[in-house]
């Protein structure tokens, strides 16, 4: 409708509903008109019928919508989970149809269907759409009911065609499948003498397992050689100079330094080796990695014109997803990256290792208790305890009680979480309606769950516990969840930090607490640069929308190298390494990586609060039950202060002093 038409309609509605409804009428008409299309019919007739001014009727409409949306979204989510089950869960060999099923998005048509049914317009006419600035300014004064109404309105803040949503789903599912099958058979890495540094059967997914294998080698007398070999593998993956023949193929041997490929002797091929062709030409993998990333970009870009308040995937990631401005987040990350504490911490690591640091020490694990335990010892413990996913599920009540949850709550949580063997590295899949269950997915090998799988499982358990509380314990299901992914990552980090204690290795003392702080700081330093590479890559894509996969590869390598040289080379050397580009999230979870460093900052603030408050269990439940508020408001209600880097930096300073760290 034209502005004069809206003015006349406003006058008519004021005559019927009274001057006291002017603000709601003005707002509701503007919100509806912004998304109404000619094919939607007679806007004026709709507004006359559906504007609600009577408080009891408005409250009843809100309650009905909240109840119905929980069921619609919950059951639709379950459909999506089932069509992806074969690609997400290790149910056996994939069928040809399984990757096709994984691209189906049952949510693709839901929002548009609700708009066509006029339900979305009922919401826009009667409940508020707010900007991030408005929520940040006025959110602390909102009641819980007002917050629920804000989240209700936000569901219809954009009207993206179903075919665009489906394109995004296809691109991400395709990239995820590529990553989930990107394994390296480590026994088939050979050095210049032909020696095999890694044991038979060790099959590691990139990047997660490669990184964790590197971290686990600090207690190995021959670990440095193995770590440097893993770094070279990672660099080959980023630059896409890895021979195509060696990807998930135990029938060939590979020297990652010379890039030479040879046929593996039959005696060295694992009994469970999948059938693979043997190619010895050494031809590099095509730019598949970057073609997948490019496909994600092109799919996301289709949505831009339908979201004028956030017209790029980057803006949607920060403004709508995290509800934190990009510049503020970058400032937080750079506050860590440029801190003088980095050089001091690096000097301490160098002192402990007794050698100069190298790029592999980006993942230094010596600030954790597991650095004193060999990977083999930890694997032995976890495999004995968890031979199957079901064994981990049966042990969840004990694990949860060990984390400070009272026996009845531990039982409740365990009964509401299902455990599946993951085809990929592992993940936690939430539920969206009460009555459904979150799923914990972790990788379990034929010989049982190794330590890497266990460590991931404890992390995912943290996600799942948050997911149970933030659905079942909130007062409004429209507020279910947490502010953004960084918060669920933070709460999962809180669990993961206690994995060795839960394994019976030992409870941390005062010295171990200092180690925990230093580990948090170094992990934040590590992932902050990776996150900057991820975001910078998407800025480059928007600046070069017609780029080819090869051009994108060159750009990512340069962005990763420049970021390394600026923040990491001064303490780790390795000028020009593209190592920061290794994270698989860049390919299969676009613009997600920033949530990890934010998660570390948030996790530290939560840990600091729990240390003062007492047991983890009750405080974890209280915080997870706050719901999907804005980040600073959630953090203030949870811990007493907004999101910040200063608490981690102050504690790191104290920890370095306590550890008698040398000057850099």
Q: Who contacts 117 (Cβ-Cβ below 8 Å, separation ≥6)?
A: none
Query: Which helix (DSSP H) or strand (DSSP E) does residue 252 occupy?
Result: strand 252-255
CA-closest candidate to residue 594, choices 555, 521, 544, 536:
536
How high is the pLDDT of residue 619?
96
The answer to whether the Cα torsion of 266, 267, 268, 271 is positive or negative is positive
pLDDT in tens, 71-118: 999 999 999 999 999 999 998 999 999 999 998 999 988 999 999 999
41: left (phi over 0), alpha (psi -120 to 50) or beta: left
How high is the pLDDT of residue 371?
52
How high is the pLDDT of residue 10?
96
How high is the pLDDT of residue 353?
96
CA-closest candidate to residue 527, choices 337, 250, 295, 400:
337
DSSP letters of 647-658?
HHHHHHHHHHHH
How high is the pLDDT of residue 445?
85
How high is the pLDDT of residue 508?
65
For 442, phi then psi, to 5°, come to -140, 155
Tell how strand 439-442 and strand 426-429 pair up: antiparallel
Contact call for residues 494 and 607 (beta carbons, < 8 A): yes
How high is the pLDDT of residue 586?
97
Tell how strand 418-421 and strand 260-263 pair up: unpaired
Q: How many CB atoms lie within 10 A of CB 569?
A: 16
For 7, phi then psi, to 5°, come to -65, -45
Q: How many CB atoms lie within 10 A of CB 85?
A: 16
CA separation (Å) from 516 to 115, 180, 403, 451, 525? 50, 31, 17, 19, 14
CA-closest candidate to residue 180, choices 221, 159, 208:
208
pLDDT in tens, 186-200: 999 999 999 999 999
How high is the pLDDT of residue 375?
78
Tell me the C-alpha distance between 528 and 484, whole Å.
17
627: left (phi over 0), alpha (psi -120 to 50) or beta: left
How high is the pLDDT of residue 554?
98
Q: Which residues in the chain show pLDDT less than 70?
A: 1-4, 368-372, 508
Contact call for residues 643 and 632 (beta carbons, < 8 A): yes
- Give the 3-state secondary structure of 136-188: HHHHHHCCHHHHHHHHHHHCCCCCCCHHHHHHHHHHHHHHHHHHHCCEEEHHH
CA separation (Å) from 345 to 264, 356, 579, 604? 42, 13, 20, 17
Tell me the C-alpha distance between 361 and 568, whole Å.
10
Tell me the C-alpha distance between 429 and 436, whole Å.
11
Q: Specify the residue for token string 């409870």.
A: 507
- Classify each residue of 583-615 as buried b or exposed e, where b means 16 or more C-beta atoms within 10 Å of its C-beta: bbbbbbbbbbbbbbbbbbbbbbbbbbbbeeeee
For 96, phi then psi, to 5°, come to -60, -30
Between CA 522 and CA 527, with CA 525 as vertex, the angle to 5 degrees is 110
The model carries a pTM of 0.83
Instruction: Go through the chain and tell me how many residues it has.
Output: 664
- For the chain, what is the radius of gyration of the CA atoms? 26
Task: Give burial (CB, 10 Å; 0-12/13-18/19+) of 545.
Answer: exposed
DSSP letters of 454-502?
HHHHHHHHHHHHHHHHHHHS-S-GGG-S-SSHHHHHHHHHHHHTTHHHH
Q: How many CB atoms lie within 10 A of CB 415?
A: 12
Residue 101 exposure: Cα atoms within 13 Å on the Cβ side? 15
């Amino acid at each position: 409708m034209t502005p004069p038409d809206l003015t006349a309609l406003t006058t008519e509605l004021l005559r019927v509903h009274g001057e006291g409804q002017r603000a709601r009428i003005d707002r509701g008409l503007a919100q509806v008109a912004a998304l109404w299309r000619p094919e939607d019919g007679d806007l004026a007739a709709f507004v006359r019928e559906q504007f609600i001014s009577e408080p009891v009727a408005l409250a009843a409409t809100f309650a009905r919508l909240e109840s119905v949306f929980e069921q619609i979204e919950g059951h639709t989510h379950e459909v999506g989970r089932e069509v992806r089950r074969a690609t997400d869960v290790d149910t056996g060999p994939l069928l040809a149809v399984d990757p096709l099923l994984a691209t189906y998005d049952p949510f693709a048509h839901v929002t548009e269907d609700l708009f066509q049914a006029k339900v979305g317009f009922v919401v826009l006419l009667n409940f508020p759409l707010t900007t991030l600035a408005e929520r940040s300014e006025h959110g602390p004064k909102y009641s819980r009911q007002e917050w629920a109404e804000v989240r209700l309105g936000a569901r219809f803040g954009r009207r993206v065609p179903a075919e665009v949503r489906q394109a995004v789903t296809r691109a991400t599912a395709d990239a995820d499948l590529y990553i989930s099958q990107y394994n390296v058979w480590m026994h088939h890495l050979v050095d210049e003498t032909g020696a095999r540094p890694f044991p038979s059967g060790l099959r590691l997914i990139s990047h997660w397992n490669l990184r964790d294998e590197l971290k686990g080698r600090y207690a190995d007398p021959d670990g440095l050689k193995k770590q440097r070999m893993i770094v070279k593998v990672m660099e080959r993956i980023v630059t896409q100079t890895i021979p195509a023949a060696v990807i998930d193929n135990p029938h060939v041997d590979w020297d990652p330094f010379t890039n030479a490929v040879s046929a593996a002797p039959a005696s060295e091929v694992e009994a469970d080796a999948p059938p693979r062709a043997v190619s010895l030409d050494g031809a590099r993998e095509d730019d598949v990695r970057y073609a997948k990333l490019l496909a994600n970009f092109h799919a996301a870009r289709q949505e831009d014109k339908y979201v004028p308040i956030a017209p790029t995937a980057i803006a949607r990631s920060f403004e709508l997803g995290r509800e934190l401005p990009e510049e503020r987040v970058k400032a937080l990350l750079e506050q860590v990256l440029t801190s003088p504490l980095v050089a001091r911490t690096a000097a301490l690591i160098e002192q402990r290792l007794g050698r100069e640091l190298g790029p592999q020490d980006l993942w230094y694990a010596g600030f954790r208790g597991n650095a004193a335990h060999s990977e083999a010892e930890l694997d032995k413990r976890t495999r004995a305890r968890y031979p199957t996913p079901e064994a981990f599920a049966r042990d969840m009540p004990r694990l949860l009680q060990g984390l400070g949850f009272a026996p009845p709550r531990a039982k409740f949580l365990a009964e509401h979480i299902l455990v599946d063997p993951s085809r990929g590295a592992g993940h936690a899949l939430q539920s969206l309606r009460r009555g459904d269950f979150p799923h914990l997915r972790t990788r379990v090998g034929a010989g049982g769950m190794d330590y890497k799988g266990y460590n991931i499982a404890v992390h995912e358990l943290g996600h799942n516990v948050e997911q149970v509380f933030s659905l079942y314990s909130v007062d409004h299901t429209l507020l279910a969840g947490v502010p953004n992914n960084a918060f669920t990552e933070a709460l999962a980090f809180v669990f993961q930090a206690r994995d060795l204690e839960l394994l019976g290795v030992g409870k941390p003392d005062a010295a171990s607490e200092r180690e925990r702080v230093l580990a948090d700081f170094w992990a934040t330093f590590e992932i902050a640069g990776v996150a900057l590479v991820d975001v910078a890559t998407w800025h480059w894509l928007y600046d070069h929308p017609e780029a080819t996969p090869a051009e994108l590869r060159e750009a990512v390598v340069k962005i990763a190298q420049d970021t390394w040289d600026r923040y990491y080379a001064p303490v780790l050397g390795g000028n020009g390494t593209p190592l920061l580009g290794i994270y698989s999230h860049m390919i299969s979870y676009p613009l997600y990586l920033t949530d990890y460093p934010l998660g570390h900052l948030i996790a530290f603030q939560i840990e600091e609060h729990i240390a003062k408050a007492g047991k983890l269990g009750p405080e974890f439940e209280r915080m997870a039950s706050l719901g999907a508020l804005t980040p600073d408001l959630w953090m203030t209600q949870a811990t007493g202060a907004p999101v910040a880097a200063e608490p981690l930096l102050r504690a790191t300073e104290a920890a370095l002093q306590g550890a008698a760290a040398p000057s850099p």
